[in-house]
Structure 1
Amino acid sequence: MDKIGGAQKHVEALAIKLKQDAHEVTIVTGHYDPSLWRFQEEKIDVISIPAMQREIHLKKDLQTFWQLRTEFKKIKPDIIAAHSSKAGAIGRVVGRLLRIPTVFTAHSWSFTEGVPHKKKMVYRRMEKSVQPLTAKIITVSEYDRKLALTKKIAPAQKMLTIHNGIDQIEKQVAPNREKQEHPLIVMVARFEVPKRQDLLLEALAELSDIPWHLQLIGDGSLRPNLEQFIATKGLTDRVSFLGNQLDVASLLEESHLFVLLSDWEGLPISIIEAMRAGLPIIATNVGGVNELVSDNENGFLINRDDKDLLKNRLKQLLMDKNSRQKMGDASERRFLRDFTFLPMYQKTLFVYEQAVSKSVKKGD
């Protein structure tokens, strides 16, 4: 949790609400930047295990295993809620050894479409091997649940979809949108694989004859190359790199159009945040994105790497204020109907309670 991402935001929101509802919560993570999260002010304990990292690394993974085992023996949790492929796998092994039920939330399978073939094969085998150690698997999209069934990762009765949800906020009345001289585009994403800020910048560089300004929120290792690309294209005054931002909601409320381009996804919280802000969406049709965005209704879906269609859709919305308004209104209605926080939280808590109850009955 040293970077802001959808899975991390999901964990933070669940942890805070669980704590507010008088449950005892401890976060165990790899690298941790406390300035990005509200755990300290909510008095939620955080244990950082730096050896825990995304990539497979035998020595560090063994260190993580032993450190997790030591921490779980101290904490004696009723349940382990595991997130992300690697931490999820090691956490489930430790949970079984200590006879603690584990619920795994798949935010996007590491064998999903778009992931390199070799990595897909490794993670698919890994998920199959730890599946028997799992009390329940939550997928954040129907796409991911069906993919796991197709790949025979787990039986149907062990999996269920709980769509991501976020809190409603009191909206300002069209705060600064009307004051903006040019349509303001925003993309919120880490500058890391699988995000594709590069494709958006390439498309916009070819639309320099129409008015627009772009804000890129997030940080990561790919950012310096893209800053250089913008300088080369002479677009420095039209693209703002804002880095990590804690108050993304205010920035979205001042924007006119949200874009998220990725090679793969689960169910992006950044799109849900944009829907809450009443924005039209342009997004890559990967993972569960089409469960959020209906093409021609609250935005446009494009295929991976289809720069020509991306340019057309960008131009269409940049030049047509009425379409932006109509699609933005549809986004907000869909958010209020299907993607608010409380239903997601209640369904998730019910899964946790069931897992604990079954464990008690079995005498684990």
Structure 2
Amino acid sequence: MHEQVERAEHGRAQDRGVVVTAGQDWAGSVMLVLASSIGGIGQHVASLAAGLSQAGCAVTVCGPAATEEHFRFTDRGARFHPVEIPANPHPSDMRAVRQVRAQLAAVRPDVVHAHGLRAGMAAALARPTCPLVVTWHNAPLRAGLRGRVHTLIERIVARSSTVTLGASADLVARARAVGSADARLAPVAAPVPRRTRRSTASVRAGLGVPDGAPLILSVGRLHEQKAYDLLVSVAARWRELTPTPRVLIAGEGPSYLDLAAQISQLRAPVTLLGHRNDVGDLIAAADLGVVTSVWEARQLFAQEALSGGLPLVATAVGGIPELVGDGAVLIEPNDPDGLDTAVRKLLADPQARAALAERGRAQAATWPDEAATMSELRDIYAELTGRAGRG
């Protein structure tokens, strides 16, 4: 009896007595699927869960239990079912596929929307009978056997999806190249600015930053993609500056021990902060933000920096140039001299930093908000469910 009630509440729209129409009136049933995430993908899915629930959609999120603990999907109006989809291929993958398939049978959604290739693969192998949307958030960076496996996964996911959404234009092009029949630029809302809770002086004092010392900030997962080893090596050069800048890196990840050893060996003025819940305070207290990644789509910290008025130096990779426009200083990836020069120039010129911050705020104001993103996404869902109904 409980299962029958649950299906009535969360099943396909027609089973719930909901009339599915176009665009902003669409109020169907959506299953969101994600793999392990502590950053941008999870935050994006949480935003979608909240917006879709508020719009009257029945939302089920399938993902690792840790994602519910971190992003609290159920507090945002969604049902949550734990499905352990690790960040990398694992022997337990088929168990995840079976769990997704079981949820498909129980929930009977109108649309399945997976986020990231790992979640997309699990959803594709579960063989949903409804339209499958997969958003690509990242590009593969590995060569050799791992790179070939990743390309195979891309091909399977692209060809299994009804629609592929790319978080940046290069991802859309890549999806088309590996066989997606319908690849589009993903509607992605700008992150809601984080609230500041403490004064700049108290934040800097708590971090042990001396008065007058420039504070340089980067936020992201400690992973080779972020090229934080480059930032550490260049930061070691800045010891010669007076006062010496302090570099803070907020985030967790597999590169922590290697970075800590590098910082110690080079005596670089860098502190690894680990995971932080006060990123808004850190942005407000910093003088300059830095992104050194070798690839990004819509990099979360870049968005938060520009929205928060923090001057930013970032690598011109992936979706970053189209994201930041003229609101950041762009440098080439893997270019230590370019990073060094850009940072030194901005630290020496407060007026240039202020002008850059102003351009950054102006650029951030052009990004779509939650309402626009939700409207566009529901248009896509309405199109697909209408197409499926006619078929």
1:94-109 equivalences under 5 Å are 94=126, 97-109=127-139
Question: What is the CA distance between 1:153 and its match in structure 2?
Answer: 2.6
Where does 1:117-136 land on structure 2 (aligned, <5 Å)?
A: 117-136=144-163
Matched-pair contact (CA < 8 Å) for 2:158–2:175: no
Please say if 1:267 is aligned against 2:301: no
Higher mean C-alpha displacement, 337-346 vs 214-223: 337-346
Counterpart amino acid of residue 32 in structure 1: A
Determine if the alignment matches structure 1 residue 347 to structure 2 residue 376: yes
Structure number with greater Rg is: 2
Of the three residues 41, 61, 72, the one matched with 1:38 is 72
Q: Report whether the alignment pairs 1:14 with 2:48.
A: yes
Query: Any gaps of 5 or more consecutive residues in structure 1?
Result: none
Q: Which residue, out of 154, 162, 187, partners 2:180?
A: 154
Pairwise CA RMSD of aligned residues? 2.5
- TM-aligned CA deviation for residue 232 of structure 1: 3.0
- 1:190 is aligned with what amino acid? R
Could you give the per-residue CA deviations for residues 35-63 of structure 1, whole angstroms, max 9, x where no partner exists? Answer: 4213243343222222x222223x32221
TM-score (ref. length: structure 1): 0.87
Describe the SS at the equivalent of 1:287: coil
CA offset digits 1:275-298 (Å, max 9, x no partner):
11112221222211111234xx32
Could you list the per-position Cα deviations for residues 220-255 of structure 1 after superposition, in whole angstroms to 9, with x for gaps in the alignment?
1211222232233334xx433222123322321222
Distance 1:305 1:182 in 2: 26
Which amino acid is the alignment partner of residue 214 of structure 1? V
Q: Which segments of structure 1 move beyond 6 Å, counting only runs of 4 or more?
A: none
Residue correspondences, number:
348
Deviation at 1:307, TM superposition (A): 0.7
In the TM superposition, residue 331 of structure 1 has moved relative to its aligned partner by 0.8
Q: Which amino acid aligns with 2:223?
A: E
Q: Aligned partners of 1:339, 1:193: CA distance in 2, in Å?
A: 30
Matched to 1:79, the amino acid is V
How high is the TM-score relative to the length of structure 2? 0.81
Q: Is the 8 A contact 1:165 1:272 kept in 2?
A: no
Structure 1 position 146, deviation (Å) = 2.5
| Separation of aligned partners in 2, 1:177 and 1:2 | 36
Equivalent pair of 1:164/1:269 in contact (CA under 8 Å)? no
Deviation at 1:168, TM superposition (A): 4.5
Report the 3-state secondary structure (helix = DSSP H, G, I; strand = E; otherwise coil) of the residue aligned with 1:292: helix
1:265 and 1:229, CA in 2 relative to 1: closer, same or farther beyond 3 A? same
* Sequence identity percentage: 23
TM-superposed CA distance for 1:64, in Å, is 1.5
1:223 aligns with 2:256: yes
CA deviation map 1:168-219 (0-9, x unaligned)? 44877x9638986222111111112311111101101011122312221111
Are 1:25 and 2:59 matched, yes or no? yes
CA deviation profile, 1:243-270 (whole Å, cap 9, x unmatched): 2123322321222211111222222122
For residue 33 of structure 1, report the CA deviation from its aligned partner. Answer: 4.6
CA contact (8 A) 2:112 2:130 kept: yes
Secondary structure of the corresponding residue to residue 160 of structure 1: strand
Instruction: Tell me, yes or no, if the aligned pair for 1:252 and 1:274 is still in contact at 8 Å.
Output: yes
Kept after mapping to 1: 8 A contact 2:132/2:161: yes
> Cα 1:115–1:263, aligned 2, differ >3 Å: closer, same or farther?
farther
Whole-angstrom distance in 2 between the partners of 1:222 and 1:170: 26
Give the corresponding residue for 1:358: 387
